[in-house]
Chains A and B, each alone.
Chain A
């Protein structure tokens, strides 16, 4: 029976883990910022209060990010009412961002090598 011995000369896996985690945090934050900016662009504006209240934040050691709207009446322009045509700006800002986030993380992984 043949026997194979493996000698690890250089273990880069720990460095890979650190690098991918750091880049993932950056990717999550960047994606949230992109969503925030697009939402601000798409939001209907009268006084500008609603668009001005849109913000992004990252937390849980950077592994989570959120985009917030600081006024509670955003649902009415976003989804429409009895008397008002909808002017969607929340969901359109998110469309396509999932692919961008995944691409950023993949790029970080590939870039390590």
Chain B
């Protein structure tokens, strides 16, 4: 039987669960891990992630049959201010948690997760550097269970 679910949401659940399980997360990113946007009331440092791009991989002879989904995710630690040092352990912990990993939830199997490139972004304002983001862009290949 073909299982049809929204792969993107289930993979996001796996990523969030994986990030939340980082052993020293409370020390390096007490704000936790959030899909799409870190809430305004959550203090930084924290981790945000979202789907950047991707597509379904369907059968060559039966286009209606989805085989796996392949998505790219931006996963980044966010700190307030110009300081780089607080970001380093967060970016390292993200990479340790996700690069070269595989896993599953109750609904989806993530066959592979690997970093395709590093990611960094600097937000500046009139007072200088306001926020720094750093982490990576990770690709997942997954299939519903």
Contacts and interface: CB of A to CB of B under 8 A. Distances in A.
A91 B74 CA distance: 12
Interface residues of B, number: 22
Contact of B74 (A76, A79, A92, A94): A79
A111 interface: no
Given A79-B74, A81-B131, A86 B121 contact: no
Chain B interface, >50% SS class:
strand
- The size class of the interface chain A forms with chain B is 10 to 19
A88 interface: yes
Which 6 A-B pairs rank lowest in CB-CB distance, beginning with the nearest? Answer: A91-B53, A82-B131, A92-B53, A85-B37, A88-B52, A86-B50
Interface of A: 75-76, 79-86, 88, 91-92, 94-96
7 contacts: A81-B121, A81-B133, A82-B123, A82-B133, A83-B40, A88-B50, A91-B72
